[in-house]
Chains A and B, each alone.
Chain A
Amino acid sequence: MSATTLEFGDAATRTAEMEDVGEKLVLNIGPSHPSTHGVLRLVLELDGEVITKADTDIGYLHRGDEKIAENMTWNQFVPYTDRLDYMAPLANNVAYACAVEKLMGFELPPRAKVTRVICCELARISAHLLGLGAFAMDVGAMTMFLYTFTEREKIYNLIELLTGARFTTSFTRVGGQTRDIPPGFLEGVTEFCAQFPGRLDEFGSMLNRNRIFVDRTKDLGIIPDDVALDFGLTGPNLRGSGNPYDVRRAFPYLDYETYDFEVPVGSTGDCYDRFAVRMEEMRQSVLILRQAVAKMPGGAWQVHDSKNVLPPKDKVLTKMEELIHQFLVVTQGPDAPVGEIYFGAENPKGELGFYLNSRGGGVPHRLKIRAPSFCNLSILNHLLPGHTVSDVPAILGSFDFVMGECDR
Chain B
Amino acid sequence: MSASLDSATEGLLPGGEKLPDFRGETSWRLERVKIPEQMAALKAKGFTYLVDLTAVDHHGEDPRFEVVYELCDIQRKKHLRIKTRVSEGESVPTVSHIWKTAEWHEREAWDMVGVRFAGHTDLRRILMWDGYPHHPLRKDFPLAGLSTEMPDIAFTAKAPLEGGPFVTNSASLTQDREPRAHPAEERNL
A353 to B166, CA, bound (A): 24
Say whether A36 faces chain B, with CB atoms less than 8 Å apart: no
- Chain A residues near B187: list those with CB within 8 A: 332, 335, 361-362
A231 engages B143 (CB within 8 Å): no
A116 to B101, CA, bound (A): 30
B127 engages A62 (CB within 8 Å): yes
Interface residues of B in 172-189 (CB under 8 A from A): 178-187, 189
Chain B: how many interface residues by the 8 Å CB criterion?
60
Known A67-B136, A72-B180: A9·B189 in contact at CB below 8 Å: no
Say whether A250 faces chain B, with CB atoms less than 8 Å apart: yes
Q: Contacting A355 at CB < 8 Å: which of B70, B125, B183?
A: B70
Say whether A235 faces chain B, with CB atoms less than 8 Å apart: no
CB distance from A246 to the nearest CB of B (A): 10
A4 to B100, CA, bound (A): 25
Say whether A307 faces chain B, with CB atoms less than 8 Å apart: yes
**Which residue of the partner chain A has the closest CB to B138?**
A67
B127 engages A4 (CB within 8 Å): no
- Chain A residues near B51: list those with CB within 8 A: 232, 342, 344, 351, 353, 370
- Chain B residues near A342: list those with CB within 8 A: 25, 51-52, 70, 79, 81
A378 engages B143 (CB within 8 Å): no
- Chain B residues near A366: list those with CB within 8 A: 54, 56-57, 137
Say whether A281 faces chain B, with CB atoms less than 8 Å apart: no
A227 to B181, CA, bound (A): 43
**Which residue of the partner chain A has the closest CB to B168?**
A331
Mark contacts of B135-171 with chain A using CB atoms, 8 A cut-off: 1 yes-contact digit, 0 otherwise: 0110001010000001111000000000000111000
**Which residue of the partner chain B has the closest CB to A328?**
B189
CB distance from B30 to the nearest CB of A (A): 16
A9 engages B77 (CB within 8 Å): no
Known A342-B52, A359-B184, A361-B187: A9·B178 in contact at CB below 8 Å: no
Chain B interface mostly: loop
A9 to B79, CA, bound (A): 41
Say whether B112 faces chain A, with CB atoms less than 8 Å apart: yes
Say whether A58 faces chain B, with CB atoms less than 8 Å apart: yes
The 21 listed contacts between A and B (C-beta, < 8 Å) are A9-B130, A9-B150, A59-B125, A67-B136, A102-B23, A105-B23, A227-B100, A232-B100, A328-B189, A340-B27, A341-B23, A342-B79, A355-B52, A355-B54, A361-B182, A361-B184, A362-B184, A363-B181, A370-B70, A375-B101, A378-B101
Which A residues form the contact surface with B (CB < 8 A)?
A: 3-6, 8-9, 11-12, 58-59, 62, 64, 66-68, 70-73, 76, 102-103, 105, 226-227, 229-232, 243, 245, 250-251, 307, 328, 331-333, 335, 339-342, 344, 351, 353, 355, 357, 359-363, 365-366, 368, 370, 374-375, 378-379, 382, 407-408
Which B residues form the contact surface with A (CB < 8 A)?
A: 1, 22-23, 25, 27, 48-52, 54, 56-57, 68, 70, 72, 74, 77, 79, 81, 99-101, 103-105, 108, 112, 123-131, 133, 136-137, 141, 143, 150-153, 166-168, 178-187, 189
